[in-house]
Chain A
């Protein structure tokens, strides 16, 4: 045990000497959580809308006014024709065109009818469908307002929608758990693997291995400082989420921290595994960077909903540790569910840690013999 502590101290000394790295490690989560917590959002806002209408009339004026007073749209001041409008859309200056039919004014007066064409920039299909559905809902509501009460159908069906957990529809509720998973995964796995591979590269690992201490303890001692660093990061992230991003911890803080510890441990063992199969720091970095960062970003449900993926990929996401962690954090932090709901996630992460750890120890022993 005493030997173990000596080794842990040695690792701390290594880290504390490298000021640039330690700064990056402590500042990175802060910058990222603040930046992404606010900036990563797919809310519909500031949609540049252009109205094309030959003559003005009351209905059109009301519709335009209603559209612009919603939080989603901002006007593009232009007297463009339909073809010019398309040109503007091709150079990304307009995202929605509202085109009233040529004789809109006339038909409105005569028959109370008319045609409105909504053209959205479909290059982002998600945005386009949101823009279209919001704008047509606004238009439909304004039209109703203009219609005499007698024409309104009897037996109206009204629907009330409750937005569970996140009534203000804040994007940070969705992205903060993902950013937590990403940051913890990168820092733990990348740093551990690099620090071990560095000792391999410089040859000091051999010296450590001939010492009387057991290899397992050497490896564990290397992960202790990073575990502690990660815990500090976890604390910063949680504080920032709650006090800066206003994402509340509605469930049990204790279990949130416990689940995070499990995830940190999984990431550390993954780092160990990477270090046991690579020989150079660069390879370790590239593998942790490209092979961990990308799946953690793409296949974990951090940004893209897993239910949108094809079956095969959905199976694949189950092998990404961050998937389970993000799910558990969403349940604990945002949905405020009790521990019993997170049993699956915890049960999925623990065997992962065991497998990574035993694989890397096996690899490690094999290299010794």
Chain B
């Protein structure tokens, strides 16, 4: 019986005008576009410099700043007001004001204060820009005044483990898979069931001997297969386009992705059981999708959130899978190191699917 239902689902899917295109091109588009757009790094900063002195020292400092990896664009301003206008017209992120006696003070070893103003509408970006600029100026002045007399001190070695090149794409690409699987494997089968409700064909199926598990199972099997296509497409793109591969190997990647698919498809089923029309189902999905995506740590870190919203994210399966994907791709964690996440995801899988079965009524 399942065979015939599967045949039906596959034919309907392939014959649909919209779905096959969505499943093929949406991941492609997202994979090609997103990693370039989704970048929270504090870099490519634009600086406006008010150089009142125009000395050899100030020129050397400006060169040092322009040559650093943080600043991409240097603008010169006549006055502080002029520099502010750069900030206001979004041409610049930070202002450095070099005093009139900058070089003289350096040479004569006179204490001096230098003023920085950063656009802090994005608070983290502003303060990070300030920190970077401060360290460049300090380093410069120390080099400038260096007399060879180096005070003994403590050496600090900073290391960014797993991602030494600080490549933001390595961070985003694994998380994208979470987004794609949620949409394709979570939402599409749910919409499919609601569509059958709306067109009345589900009524016909209900009076046949087809069991509810068989009927829904056929749909899930189709979308789990579609999920495989999505996974493989993204994996190939990530490997050949970005050179990013799961460090933990493919077996763990597919295994855990399937665990997640069971979770989201269960969630989708629950939503479909409570929706009579496609429109209702879609609204509920968009509402939850937006919240779940933005609260998953996919874009902004969960650890940064206030405690109460971290508590809310504990009930968000996307959060755990985002963590899992990053651990698999970037850190190469093994199953033992993922025990907590796997247990929780398995719990979600049981919970949602159990709920879906309970709330599905073949007879009203």
Touch A–B, Cβ below 8 Å: yes
Task: Pick from A24, A39, A111, A155: contact of B145, CB below 8 A.
Answer: A155
Contacts A40-B300, A157-B137, A163-B126 given: A122-B118 contact, CB under 8 Å?
no
CB 8 Å contact bits of B159-174 with A (1 = contact, 0 = none): 1111110111011000
Give the residues in chain B near A126, CB-CB below 8 Å.
Answer: 40-42, 168, 171
| Structural contact, A40 and B294, CB atoms closer than 8 A | yes
Q: Are B160 and A125 in contact (CB under 8 A)?
A: yes
| A/B interface sample: 7 pairs, CB < 8 A | A112-B152, A113-B152, A121-B161, A159-B134, A165-B120, A307-B93, A341-B88
Distance, CA A23 to CA B168, complexed state (A) = 39
Contacting residues of chain A (89-130) with chain B, CB-CB under 8 angstroms? 89-92, 95, 108, 111-130
CB distance from A18 to the nearest CB of B (A): 9
Beta-carbon contact of B121 and A157 below 8 Å: no
Contact B123 A39 (CB under 8 A): no
* Chain A residues whose CB sits within 8 angstroms of the CB of B327 once the complex forms: 90-92, 123
Mask for A249-273, Cβ within 8 A of B = 1, else 0? 0000000000000000000000000
In A280-316, the 8 Å CB interface with B consists of 281-283, 285-286, 289-290, 293-294, 298-299, 303-305, 307-310, 313
CB closest residue in chain A, given B117: A162
Partner of A307, one of B44, B88, B290: B44
Q: What residues of chain B lie closer than 8 Å to A334, measured between beta carbons?
A: 121
The complex places the Cα of A308 from the Cα of B44 at a distance, in Å, of 6
- Bound-state CA distance A154–B106 (Å) is 10
Other 6 A-B pairs with CB < 8 A, given A282-B278, A305-B40: A35-B309, A108-B154, A115-B155, A122-B162, A125-B171, A305-B39
B37 touches A313 (CB 8 A): yes
B: interface residue count bin: 35 or more
Q: How far is the CA of A139 from the CA of B157 in the complex (A)?
A: 11
Residues on B with beta carbons closer than 8 Å to the beta carbon of A157: 106, 111-114, 137-138, 141
Does B14 touch A at the CB level, under 8 Å? no
Question: When the two chains form their complex, are residues A120 and B158 in contact, meaning their CB atoms are under 8 A apart?
Answer: yes
A124 contact set on B, CB distance < 8 A: 171, 301, 326
Residues 1 to 53 of chain B near chain A (Cβ within 8 Å): 18, 22, 26, 30, 33-34, 36-46
Residue of A nearest to B149 (CB): A153
Q: Does B100 contact A (CB under 8 A)?
A: no
A164-B117 in contact given A35-B309, A47-B303, A121-B161 (Cβ < 8 Å): yes
**Cβ contacts A23-51/B at 8 Å (1 or 0 each):** 01000100110011011111111110000
Q: Which residue of chain A has the shortest Cβ distance to B43 in the bound complex? A: A308
A258 to chain B, nearest CB (A): 19
Q: Contacts A117-B157, A118-B158 given; indicate if A147 touches B123 (C-beta within 8 A).
A: no
Instruction: Flag whether B66 is at the interface (Cβ < 8 A).
Output: no
> In B104-148, which residues have CB < 8 Å from any A CB?
105-106, 108-128, 130-135, 137-138, 141-142, 145
Question: Is A167 an interface position by the 8 A CB rule?
Answer: yes
Interface residue B196 (Cβ < 8 Å from any Cβ of A): no
Residue of B nearest to A282 (CB): B278
A169-B118 in contact (CB<8A): no
- Any B CB within 8 A of the CB of A173: yes
A151 touches B151 (CB 8 A): yes
* Residue contact A169 to B154, C-beta cutoff 8 Å: no
Tell me if A80 is interfacial: C-beta within 8 Å of chain B: no
A132 at interface by CB-CB < 8 Å = yes
**Are B159 and A307 interface neighbours, CB within 8 A?**
no
Determine whether A184 belongs to the interface, using a CB cutoff of 8 Å to chain B. no
Pairwise interchain contact A305-B125, C-beta atoms closer than 8 A: yes
Minimal Cβ-Cβ distance residue in B for A120: B160
Residues of A within 8 A of B282 (CB): 282, 285, 289
Interface assignment of B60: CB less than 8 Å from any CB of chain A: no
The yes or no answer to A327 lying at the interface (CB within 8 A) is: yes
Interface string of B182-224 (1 = CB under 8 A from A): 0100000001000100000000000000000000000000000
Q: How far is the CA of A111 from the CA of B151 in the complex (A)?
A: 10
A-chain residues with CB within 8 Å of residue B290 when the two chains form the complex: 32, 293
B58 at the interface (CB under 8 A from A): no
Q: Are A166 and B123 in contact (CB under 8 A)?
A: yes
A156: interface (CB < 8 Å): yes
Q: Which residues of B contact A367 (CB under 8 A)?
A: none
B187 CB, nearest partner CB in chain A, Å: 10
